[in-house]
Structure 1
Amino acid sequence: MKAIIYIPLVALLSLSVSCKKFVDIDPPRTELSSESLFVNDKTATSAMVGIYSDMNSYNYFYANLLTMFMGGMGSDEFTYALTSTAEFEEFKNNNVLSTNRFVGQLWSEPYAYNYRANAVIEGVTASQTLSPQVKNQLLGEAKFMRAFFHFYLVNTFGDVPLILDTDVQKNTNLSRTPAAEVYKSIIADLIDAKNLLAINYPSTGERTRPTKGAATLLLARAYLYTGNNVQAEIEAAEVISNPNYQLLQGANMNKTFLANSPEAIWQLQVVNNGGSRNTWEGFTMTPASITAPVAYYRLTKGAGGLVDAFEPGDLRRTNWTGSYTTTATPPLTHTYPYKYKIRTNPGPITEYSMVLRYAEAYLIRAEARIQLNKLDLGKQDLDVIRSRAGFSTPLPSIASIPAGMLRVEQERRVELFTEWGHRWFDLKRWKSVSGDATKTRADDVLPLTKPSWKSTAILMPIPSDARKTNPNLTPNPGYN
């Protein structure tokens, strides 16, 4: 696997330069060995926070538009508004080729970062000189990140190689690990991370490094995805009770995606902010000017479209989307994602890229409770989310689990749109309401906007480069 081979130690050492905004660290000497990197707290911390820095350094990287783009185009959230490339069209039409460079990045970048997380785990574990507090924090962060990367790999590609060390010779030819086994490792890593990480953020107030809250939320999500609704409810409840977080109400909804907002559980800074960028999401999704208001992405409309999924009076529609009218004859009005408000700003950075946020905990607990037939309690969690969105009247009583799941689907769709592929993963993991056990919710929903939809498109193809490098990688069903 190409991604696992090309991570030189020099890349690990260079991180302390690129991550200066995350933590104040002295730049390392170029002759540092991997052992000396983990001798003191500062250089060891540089190895960890450099991963966050590099994840979000450039446009269409794994941790910004790439994940949003795959999930939004692959599901039914938006289409690309400008002149599209063949590779964009493949996502739009769900006929992604194994040679698509973006699908290659969705594979190679998480594995590259996973290698670095494994290097931190090994280096920190072996170190005898780190302070106990820093050692626990770094080990917790690295295990959290290893779980995070495997979570997105398994949900994008299905069975994937489970890489838990830096043994390149062994890992290069690993076969695909069954998804259930990958999830067991994800959950084990998150339990360890939760026990190791601090509950509070650093004294600077920056929410750009994972804490116990981040590990707990991702653990709740992993339990939900694997059908362990009892544990999903427990972990989500723990996040909800954490005093570090709160839902922003009314007009304050527009502050949700600000740097270090009280709804943020984990965010990433854009360290490459040339041209006065705040986030890559805002730079790409927000129109360039009022006089030429053309956004790169347009929310889908019409039958099955996202625009018409919002109920009248939903503050998420008025606060988190924007619109513009073309000069065509007749003029057309389009809607675009507007969670991030700033395209460019010469002043201080005010927005960060959101990775995990508090509202998801309520949605996880609501779904888990409804699946456990705790219908009234599940409805109460949905009402909390809806109240924040401007609905003063609670939902009517939910009569059944299937009816409750349709309410969950609605709220997740209009709350989490264009964030980290949530909609895409939801449609893949839920069963079809038709009763056909071989179908998913994607088979029910996506033909409304994608006439050529095929069931096998719920998984991305294993990239051709990875298969050339590792002959033990088998293709996904429906791909050559």
Structure 2
Amino acid sequence: MKNNSIKYIYIFSFFLLIGLTGCDDMLEAELPINELSSEVVYASDPTAEATINGIYQSMVTNTYYNSLHTILGQTSDELILKTQLSNVYTTNEMIDTDSSAGTMWTEFYKTIYNANNAIIGISGSKTLTPTKAKQWIAEAKFLRAYSYFYLTNLWGDVPLVLTTNIDETSLAPRNTQTEIYNQIILDLKEAATDLPADFSGYSAIRVRATKAAAQALLSRVYLYLGNWTEASDLATLVINDSSNYKIITGLTSTNSPFIADNKEAILQIPYSNVTYTYEGSALFSSSGTYMLRNGNTLFETGDARKTNWTGTTVAADGLTYTIPRKYKNSYTTTPVERSTILRLAELYLIRAEARVKLNDITGAQQDINVIRNRALLGNTTLTDSNQLLELIALERQRELFAENGHRWFDLKRTGKIDEVLSTTPGKIWASTDSLFPIPETARRSNPFLTQNLGYN
């Protein structure tokens, strides 16, 4: 952590620059390209807002638009390479020197560091417009919570860093997952209070957090923690905000939840100066680098998600397999797409699961049917709680495949991971594989970082 902290002392001018190149019509300040002190950065509204935009823009990295999809897809039972060759992810034989996992760790903490920087700098400024300052702090808290959600679900106990003081961050020990979740919940509650209710202040561009983003992520957190009432209530707040959010129907290549600024999108990653995504142009291209392990049997006949969100490829063994193809744009101008990290369909599935746990069977059926009907499937007639939970898990696989690690986390949080992955072909599974190894580079820099069980 110490080396990374030193590196990011100079983050101000870097983020001001990339903040200006992304979300162009939201930023109009002309900023110097040389290094700026925090006093200068947080002295005026334009420069302070530029730093917040810069944090979002810094998320256009391999971690956010690649690794969260592919590494977690492979460590679960979801994705396998078209070549059908095994690797440390498909076999669950990761080691602490794995560079991709190490980069993920670094990128999450980079986001946290810069969120902390913004929170501290904006809070200490006496020259910013108070209402705007509150919003920017709320955005930084949301981004910090988002990063910690992934850190604790991938690595378990991790350092809880709420400062930019190098003396503290460089030797921070691991905090318990309970402590991490408590901070996530606190950040999201406070963020929801001060975030804007819609995108009007963001030029109608869905690349910065609104109140619904904080509520949606908090709903997910409560689902993971088994707080069913809170998960349901927060999902309902977003679902009922129909003027801003609505399920996309009639799925086509030009009408999907991954089109820029569509009504289902709650938050998207702000690519700058391009109209395509890495997911569509390279990661899940039409030729198919990754295949869905169970893609040929996952979908019901007539499922619009298979028709519109998948393709086919011939693998090394000469057989035809299903490939993920949710993002369509391959270096062309239309449709404009963005990597989507929060969308409304997940909220219906969260509420359906919470309602089953709360014995609201009718309500759960209604939510499941929203997702099934959008996929051109009939209503469920199931009334047994266990059967409904199995159906919800299946609909989550069908709806959220190859997105942001959902399948990996679902197996973990529902206690199914040992049962499923111990019988998945090609896996060398041990229960300790459910947590990633703490990166060797981080442990070498910080002697107080202990390693997860099952790793040297």
Partner of 1:250: 250
1:3 deviates by 6.2
* SS at 1:378 equivalent: helix
User: CA separation of 1:311/1:349 partners in 2, compared to 1, >3 Å: closer, same or farther?
Assistant: closer
Q: Give the Cα separation in 2 of the matches to 1:5 and 1:138.
A: 22
Deviation at 1:26, TM superposition (A): 2.3
Task: For 2:101 and 2:109, locate their aligned partners in 1 and report how far apart those are by CA, in whole Å.
Answer: 13
Listed one character per residue, the Cα deviations across residues 387-415 of structure 1 (whole Å, up to 9, x for unaligned) are 11101x31113213x22221111111110
The corresponding residue for 1:458 is 434
Distance 1:203 1:453, change over 3 A: closer
Deviation at 1:332, TM superposition (A): 2.5
Q: In the alignment, what sits opposite 1:468?
A: 444
Tell me how far apart the structure 1 counterparts of residues 103 and 233 of structure 2 sit (CA, whole Å): 35
Q: What CA distance in whole angstroms lies between the structure 1 residues aligned with 2:84 and 2:106?
A: 27
- 2:174 equivalent in structure 1: 176
Distance 1:397 1:68 in 2: 31
The residue that corresponds to 1:39 in the other structure is: 43
Q: For residues 107-133 of structure 1, give each alpha carbon's deviation from its aligned partner in whole angstroms, at most 9, with x where no partner exists.
A: 111001100000000011111111123
Q: Which residue identity is paired with 2:43? A: V
Q: What amino acid maps onto 1:385 in structure 2?
A: I
2: CA distance between counterparts of 1:116 and 1:314? Answer: 42
Residues 425-470 of structure 1 show CA distances to partners (whole Å, capped at 9, x for unaligned) of 0101112xxxxxxxxx011212233442221111100011111111
- Farther-moved stretch of structure 1 (88-97 vs 409-418): 88-97
Provide the residue aligned with 1:136 in structure 2.
Answer: 134
Task: Please tell me whether the aligned partners of residues 286 and 342 of structure 1 are also in contact (alpha carbons under 8 angstroms).
Answer: no
Distance 1:166 1:215 in 2: 23
Alignment partners' CA distance in 2, 1:252 and 1:474: 48
Deviation larger for 5-14 or 105-114: 5-14
Deviation at 1:205, TM superposition (A): 1.3
Question: Does residue 1:334 correspond to 2:360, yes or no?
Answer: no
CA change 1:52–1:261 in 2 (3 A) is same
TM-score scaled to structure 1, two decimals? 0.89
Q: Any conservation in 2 of the 1:284–1:295 contact (CA below 8 Å)?
A: no
Task: Indicate the SS of the match to 2:174.
Answer: coil
Q: Quick one: structure 1 residues 83 and 373, their matched pair in 2 at CA, closer, same or farther if it must change by over 3 Å? A: closer
Q: Deviations 1:289-343 (Å, cap 9, x if unpaired)? A: xxxx63211111xxxx2431111111111111011346x8x84212211110012
Q: Compute the displacement of 1:349 (Å).
A: 6.9
Alignment of 1:333-372 (within 5 A): 333-345=320-332, 347=333, 350-372=336-358
- Pick from 435, 439, 442 the counterpart of residue 417 of structure 2: 442
Q: Which residue among 26, 29, 38 is the counterpart of 1:26? A: 29
Change beyond 3 A, Cα 1:348–1:478: same
Q: CA deviation at 1:286?
A: 4.2
The alignment's TM-score, normalised by the length of structure 2, stands at: 0.94
Give the aligned residue type for 1:413. Q
> CA 1:474–1:9 in structure 2 vs 1: closer, same or farther (change >3 Å)?
closer
- 2:388 is matched with which residue: 398, 404, 407? 404
Provide closer, same or farther for how the CA distance between residues 25 and 66 of structure 1 changes in structure 2, counting only shifts above 3 A. farther
Q: Report the counterpart of residue 235 of structure 1 in structure 2.
A: 234
3-state secondary structure, aligned to 1:418: coil
Q: Report what 2:100 is aligned to.
A: 102
Return the alpha-carbon distance in structure 1 between the equivalents of residues 397 and 145 of structure 2: 25
Matches within 5 A, 1:198-347: 198-201=196-199, 202=201, 204-243=203-242, 244-252=244-252, 254-271=255-272, 273=274, 278-287=276-285, 294-300=287-293, 305-325=294-314, 331-345=318-332, 347=333
Q: What is the CA–CA distance in structure 2 between the aligned matches of 1:245 and 1:217, rounded to whole Å?
A: 12
Letter aligned with residue 461 of structure 1:
P
Amino acid at match of 1:296: T
- Provide the C-alpha distance between the structure 2 equivalents of 1:139 and 1:313, rounded to a whole number of angstroms: 46
Stretches of structure 1 lacking an aligned partner (at least 5 in a row): 288-292, 432-440
Would the aligned equivalents of 1:52 and 1:268 in 2 still touch at CA under 8 Å?
yes
Structure 1 residue corresponding to 2:367, chosen from 378, 381, 391: 381
Conserved 8 A contact 2:329-2:335? no
Q: How far apart are the structure 2 equivalents of 1:127 and 1:147?
A: 23
Q: Secondary structure at the match of 2:87?
A: helix
* Distance change >3 Å, CA 451–CA 252, structure 1 → 2: closer
Q: Which moved more, 1:17-26 or 1:73-82?
A: 17-26
* SS of aligned partner of 1:250: coil
Provide the C-alpha distance between the structure 2 equivalents of 1:245 and 1:343, rounded to a whole number of angstroms: 27
How far has the Cα of 1:25 moved from its partner?
Answer: 3.4
Note the C-alpha offset of 1:175. Answer: 1.2
Measured in 2, the distance between the counterparts of 1:241 and 1:153 equals 30
1:3–1:109 Cα contact (<8 Å) kept: no
> Bigger shift: 24-33 or 176-185?
24-33
- Is 1:150 aligned with 2:135? no
Worse-matched range after superposition: 89-98 or 251-260: 251-260
Is the Cα contact below 8 Å between 1:173 and 1:472 reproduced in 2?
yes
Shift in Å, 1:272: 6.8
Shift of 1:2: 4.5
Q: Supply the distance in 2 between the matched residues of 1:354 and 1:366 (Cα, whole angstroms).
A: 22
CA distance in 1, matches of 2:371, 2:167: 49
| Identical-pair percentage | 38
Contact residue 38 and residue 44 of structure 1 kept, 8 A? yes
Deviations 1:231-272 (A, max 9, x none): 111101001001201111123574221110111000012237
- Residue 113 of structure 2 aligns with which residue? 115
Q: Is the 8 A contact 1:173 1:471 kept in 2?
A: yes
CA RMSD of aligned residues (A): 1.9
The aligned counterpart of 1:15 is 15
Distance 1:131 1:252 in 2: 43
Q: By how many angstroms is 1:15 displaced?
A: 1.5
Q: C-alpha deviations, 1:161-181, integer Å up to 9, x for none? A: 111111111121111111011
Query: What secondary structure does 2:217 align onto?
Result: helix
Q: Give 2:76's aligned residue.
A: 75
Asked if the contact 2:12–2:37 (Cα under 8 Å) also holds between the matched residues in 1, the reply is no
Task: Tell whether the 8 Å contact from 1:74 to 1:424 is kept in structure 2 after alignment.
Answer: yes
Question: How many angstroms does 1:12 deviate by?
Answer: 2.1
